[in-house]
Amino acid sequence: MINFSTSPDQYQHWKLSFEGAVATLRMDVAEDGGMVPGYELKLNSYDLGVDIELYDATQRLRFEHPEIKSVIITSAKDRVFCAGANIAMLGTSTHAHKVNFCKFTNETRNGIEDATSNSDQRYLCVVNGTAAGGGYELALAADHIMLIDDGASTVSLPEVPLLAVLPGTGGLTRVVDKRKVRRDHADYFCTLNEGIKGKRAVDWNLVDELVPRSKLMDKAKERAIEFSEASSRPDDQEGIVLTSLSREISKDRVNYNFISCSINREVLTAEITIHAPTKMPEQETTAIHAAGVNFWPLAFAREFDDLILHLRSNENEISTWVFKTKGSADFVAAADDALSNNADNWFVKEIILYIKRTFKRLDVSSRSIITLVEPGSCFTGTLMELVLAADRSYMLDGIFEGSNITAASLRSTAMNFGHLPMCNDLSRLETRFLNDETKIAAIKTKIGTDLDAKAAEELGLVTFIPDDIDWGDEVRIAIEERASYSGDALTGMEASLRFAGPETLETKIFGRLSAWQNWIFQRPNAVGEEGALKLFGTGKQAKFDRKRV
Amino acid sequence: MTTVDYSQKIPNNVNLGDDRRLQRALEAWQPAFLNWWDELGPAGSSDYEIFLRTAIDVSAKGWAHFDMVKMPDYRWGIFLGDKEENRKIGFGAHKGEDAWQEVPGEYRAELRRLIVTQGDTEPASVEQQRQLGRTCPSLYDLRSLFQVNVEEGRHLWAMVYLLHAYFGRDGREEADEMLMRHSGDEDKPRILEAFNVPTTDWLSFFMFTYFQDRDGKFQLNSLAESGFDPLSRTCNFMLTEEAHHMFVGESGVGRVVERSIQLIKEHDTLDIRQHGGIDLSTIQKWINFHFSICLDLFGQEKSTNAANFYNMGLKGRFQEMKIDDDHLLDNDIYMIPEIEGNRVIMSETGALGSINERLRNDYRDDCQRGMDRWNKMLAGAGVDFKLSLPHSAFHRNIGIFADINADVKGNIISQQEWDASINDWIPTPEDRAFVESLMVPVTEVGKVAGWIAPPARGIQGKEPNFEYVRFH
């Protein structure tokens, strides 16, 4: 089982240090520290285990270190920055593992950019040796790239010429979309297996500046301090320690404090129930700080994040995720109020951003999402996003016969209107009603109002509202039918329907780049017995089917 | 543009006089090279007249033309070994195809990298040795040093020629970079680590020409097998010059051993430091140091790059064509060392992936020959001491042994044991200070420093006491 939780005292591959407002994250991958046997992590190449630590470090930098305003990513190894994803690992992994690995690494790099853009924690990358493939893609996630000017170290994206695959961790997209490298230059660069160094790297904007070896770390610190001076992060606040999650896993269950998940292997479904706060959530920043990881929105985000990662990696036959909620809608609304009323507080801001990133993770997960709105549920505000994120939703019209639980309702809060954008930069409501602002305005007038099934249907918030008599069959058939379809076709269909609206860097990475990459990952030119990815490292040469498709 | 007689200024057999592209490239590069030689070549030597060998063509007569010349006037030439008609690629996936006369597009980057890595070592060694002229043990040795230096300079030219002639703009940039990286420079060091430490004493120089230049021999031999014909021919010719460098090393160490034997006999003690000689255990330490850092130059035991280079037909094994196998290595195995628990074991692996290790083993065997010769001298004189190569696991920074400590016999030892014994195995600062204290220049015609025996014979039929270097 792949476990996504770790902590700095367990890191094998990264060294995290702090000096004033600047943190330094040094990559020092342990060659024999691969997640599974069968490959060596030479030259700071990475596998999922290395990236799990990186993700953990970036999360802790945000929550535990409000005083950290800029982060230097560099390598602890001499003359090598990072050789990218380990090829032997990719060559021996299943297709599903490769896809999951790439998705997670993409999300982590997007998170780094989110820290720079939205948390005022700016990343700079000090490329102190060769940065190849995923190594340069890691640098591309930073806001500022410094390259050692030693006459030897290059940045490169050699995937096409060397491996017959793509720089799929955002590389191709970021080169042209983020760094605005001209497409003809980018074309040349991406077919040059030895990469580009020195002045041309700066001239083509592949890096921001060149620094001689002897001045590199001094210059990096100078830059980092310069960046930190423009940051709004506080100097005098205590960080919130991300203590380890309490999680119980058994064969068909995963339980956290506020989330429980039960797996039905016959219909390939995970039923995920999110529980509202059990008491009135803290409202003032001092109390919110004091509650720390126990503040419900943060606890929910951490548990939800971990569960998504767990299910994605360890339960890939479980094809449909069914969401339910339970508990007090008022407490959920109060938690949302606490967030939106204090959104300029650093800690609250981090929580909102984290919830945003976690819902984005849900959006790009290759699982069918069905949300069931039943009596006793609390699809309010943040949790109403689960209805909007679903491929399909069902809301019971009325109550179950013989039950004394009152009918279900939906309730929007300020959180639904811009705090939690999808990767197309639109809120889920904006994406849902793409060209119809009147519909969004109509929902906005109902902020704080409980909407019963009919009202919710009328406002376009739910797909179907069966009554008590139809409910059982409709829901069962929807789930069973889903389980009978091809997972591949569903993944493609859902990913195409979920992200209406404009393209962004992230939609291009998850849509265009990942889709092409995942196609190439299936093709004989890459993974056939004589494919480049399979043969890399053996000294043998790939044999390509030269037909263009 | 003025007409330059290229065949006079730059002796060559590559038709430089008619090749405008090459002329243009060299016109820009040559002044930079001369500047570099002036700044980082042998210190304070530009006015000396030296009895030097210059290659003026590749014939038996022409490749070793002797004359008294000043080094800045040395005619660095460009020569390819004789062309073998209808040469075929001898190994790898392209075995049996015609050798490439132009760079194959798909291997351009790999070839360039091989040439740059090899080329970078040539000026590096000149930089490392630049201060040695000030402490020469004799004019004969001073000449040897300068001969080695100008020929390393020529080897740089040879690699630069390939970059200029076959790699276009990128090649020209790489050629420029060769003069911008400098040995030991903290900002732009030489590519390989063994080429970033200065050679500060003559014992080190002889060790360097014995061990490092022998690495050069093995690298050049494997590149001489290359399916890229111009590289093959270039390296074939360089090897004729490299042989002399190793002779300087082997005879140099041999003369130090010979002198030490004399002092041991004369004073009836192995402890000859007090009598101005270099004791045998000090020589052994120098061997341990140089041999171990040279083993690193061959790279990782299992290497993807080396396997690729082989399969692509770019770099073969030592004397590839004399090896009796299929030259494809798809299913062959080779034994490489591995660490199991607390010991070194040998384990089977694919031959293709272990090309580096094979070359390292061939190198080791070749290094052993000198030990045998010196030990024969010791045994013949009745001195009870044997010089030996340390185990491959000793004092390594690259490959599987980099993570462990091993003694000179290859036993894995703890950090504490290592710390306690390291001073017995490799030169200490005191050892270096002692050897440096002996480095008093001897520049009188026919005289030789007291720590080394005179050469058995002179150069090119001249007497050992010929005035090989004239100072002005």
pLDDT digits (tens, 9 = 90+) for B79-138: 888 889 999 999 999 999 999 999 998 899 899 999 999 999 999 999 999 999 999 999
DSSP letters, A374-421, are -TT--EEGGGGHHHHHSSEEEE-BS--TT--SPPP-EE--GGGTTTS-
Q: What is the pLDDT of residues B283-323, one digit of tens each?
A: 999 999 999 999 999 999 999 899 999 999 999 999 999 99
Nearest chain B CA: its distance from A157 CA (Å): 14
Query: 3-state DSSP call for residue A4?
Result: coil
Q: CA nearest A83: which of A143, A119, A42?
A: A42
Check CB contact of B187 with chain A, cutoff 8 Å: yes
Residue-level pLDDT at B59: 79
Q: Is the pLDDT of residue B61 over 80?
A: no
Q: Check A537 against B304: CB less than 8 A apart.
A: yes
Report the chain B residue with the minimal C-alpha distance to residue A192.
Answer: B109
What is the Cα–Cα distance from B111 to B379, expressed in whole angstroms?
A: 47
B310 neighbourhood in chain A, CB within 8 Å? 539
Q: Which two tokens stand for residue A406?
A: 């009152």
Would you tell me which residues 353-382 of chain B have a C-beta closer than 8 angstroms to some C-beta of chain A?
353, 355
When pLDDT is averaged across residues B411-428 and rounded to a whole number, the result is 96
The three-point CA angle B79-B85-B89 to 5° equals: 90
Report the chain B residue with the minimal C-alpha distance to residue A128.
Answer: B187
Per-residue DSSP letter, B197: S
Would you tell me which residues 452-511 of chain A have a C-beta closer than 8 angstroms to some C-beta of chain B?
none
Question: For the ranges A62-76, A85-99, A527-541, which has the lowest average pLDDT?
Answer: A527-541
Would you tell me which residues 141-180 of chain A have a C-beta closer than 8 angstroms to some C-beta of chain B?
149-152, 161
Q: Check B307 against A152: CB less than 8 A apart.
A: no
Q: Which amino acid is at A207?
A: V
Residue-level pLDDT at B4: 58
Residue-level pLDDT at A151: 87
Check CB contact of A213 with chain B, cutoff 8 Å: yes
Whether B314 contacts B226, CB under 8 Å: yes
Nearest to A151 among B177, B307, B353 (CB): B177
Domain range annotation of chain B: 7-470
Please count the other Cβ atoms lying within 10 Å of the Cβ belonging to residue A529: 8
Residue-level pLDDT at B91: 96
Q: Check A538 against B307: CB less than 8 A apart.
A: yes
Residue-level pLDDT at A301: 98
Residue-level pLDDT at B58: 79
Domain range annotation of chain A: 9-229, 248-497
Q: Check B308 against A539: CB less than 8 A apart.
A: yes
What is the Cα–Cα distance from A373 to A261, expressed in whole angstroms?
A: 16
- The answer to whether A9-229 and A248-497 have equal CATH topology is yes
Question: For the ranges A350-364, A369-383, B4-18, B89-103, which has the lowest average pLDDT?
Answer: B4-18
Would you tell me which residues 307-326 of chain B have a C-beta closer than 8 angstroms to some C-beta of chain A?
307-308, 310-312
Q: What phi and psi, each to the nearest 5 degrees, are found at residue A216?
A: -60, -55
What is B7-470's CATH superfamily? Answer: Ribonucleotide Reductase, subunit A (1.10.620.20)
Residues forming beta bridges with residue B228, ordered by sequence position? B100
Check CB contact of A30 with chain B, cutoff 8 Å: no
When pLDDT is averaged across residues A1-29 and rounded to a whole number, the result is 97
Nearest to B307 among A42, A215, A539 (CB): A539
Nearest to B186 among A152, A161, A213 (CB): A213
Predicted confidence band at A344 (pLDDT cuts at 50, 70, 90)?
very high
Residues forming beta bridges with residue A249, ordered by sequence position? A254
Nearest to B187 among A193, A214, A539 (CB): A214
Nearest to B188 among A150, A192, A536 (CB): A150
Nearest to A541 among B93, B188, B191 (CB): B93
Residue-level pLDDT at A536: 86
Residue-level pLDDT at B1: 39
Check CB contact of A530 with chain B, cutoff 8 Å: no
Whether A211 contacts A149, CB under 8 Å: yes
When pLDDT is averaged across residues B381-404 and rounded to a whole number, the result is 95
- Is the ipTM higher than 0.90? The answer is no
Mean pLDDT, chain A, as a whole number? Answer: 96
Residue in this structure with the two tokens 């002399």, named with its chain if needed: B244
Q: Please give the CATH topology (third level) of the domain spanning A248-497.
A: 2-enoyl-CoA Hydratase; Chain A, domain 1 (3.90.226)
Nearest chain A CA: its distance from B181 CA (Å): 7
The three-point CA angle B456-B457-B461 to 5° equals: 170
Residue to test with chain B: of A150, A197, A203, most B Cβ within 10 A: A150
Nearest to B187 among A161, A194, A213 (CB): A213
What is A9-229's CATH superfamily? Answer: 2-enoyl-CoA Hydratase; Chain A, domain 1 (3.90.226.10)
Q: Rg (Cα) of chain B, in Å, rounded?
A: 23
Residue-level pLDDT at B2: 45
Q: What is the pLDDT of residues B190-212, one digit of tens each?
A: 999 889 989 999 999 999 999 99
Predicted confidence band at B3 (pLDDT cuts at 50, 70, 90)?
low
Residue in this structure with the two tokens 């980082």, named with its chain if needed: B40
